[in-house]
Amino acid sequence: MNESNRIKKLPKYLFTMIDDLKREAIAKGIDIIDLGMGNPDSPTAEHIVDELCRSAKNPKNHGYSRSIDNVEVALREAIAGWYHTRFGVELIPGSEVVPLIGSKEGIAHISLAFLNNDDVALVPNPTYPVHFNGVLIAGGVLHSIPIRAEDGYLPDFDAIPKDILKKTKMIFLSYPHNPTTAVASKAFFEKAVDFAKENEIILVHDLAYSEIAFDEYKAISILEIPGAKEIAVEFHSLSKTYNMAGWRIGFAVGNSKILAALVKTKGYIDFGLFKPIQYAAIKALTGPQDCVSKQVALYERRRDVMVDALHKIGWKVPKPKATFYLWARIPDRYSGLTSMEFVSLLIRETGVVLSPGTGFGEYGEGFVRFALVEDEDRLIEAVGRIKKIFETEA
Q: Report the residue number, 123 or 309, with the smaller CB distance to ligand PLP.
A: 123
Binding mask 78-107 for ligand PLP (x = CB under 6 A): ------------------------xxx---
- Min. distance of Cβ 140 from ligand PLP in angstroms? 19
Q: Report the residue number, 38 or 99, with the smaller CB distance to ligand PLP.
A: 38
Q: By CB under 6 A, name the one of 82, 83, 128, 274 that touches ligand PLP.
A: 128
Q: By CB under 6 A, name the one of 180, 221, 239, 295 that touches ligand PLP.
A: 239
How far the first Cα of the chain sits from its last, in Å, is 49
> Which residues pair with residue 233 across a beta bridge?
204, 254
Contacts of ligand PLP in 324-383 (CB under 6 A)? none
Is residue 272 a contact point for ligand PLP (CB under 6 A)? Answer: no
Q: Report the residue number, 111 or 350, with the smaller CB distance to ligand PLP.
A: 111
φ and ψ at residue 204, rounded to 5 degrees: -105, 120
Q: Is 227 exposed, middle or buried (0-12, 13-18, 19+ CB in 10 A)?
A: exposed
d(CA 173, CA 374): 28
Binding mask 243-262 for ligand PLP (x = CB under 6 A): --x----x------------
The site for ligand PLP, by CB under 6 A, has a size of 13
Is residue 205 a contact point for ligand PLP (CB under 6 A)? Answer: no
Strands 250-254 and 33-34: unpaired
Is residue 180 a contact point for ligand PLP (CB under 6 A)? Answer: no
DSSP assignments along 371-382, one per residue: E--S-HHHHHHH
d(CA 290, CA 386): 35
What separation in angstroms does the CA of 154 have from each of 19, 183, 219?
31, 9, 15
Q: Is the distance from CB of 378 to CB of 33 less than 8 angstroms?
A: yes
Q: Report the residue number, 38 or 361, with the smaller CB distance to ligand PLP.
A: 38
Binding site for ligand PLP (CB under 6 A): 38, 102-104, 128, 174, 178, 206, 208, 237, 239, 245, 250
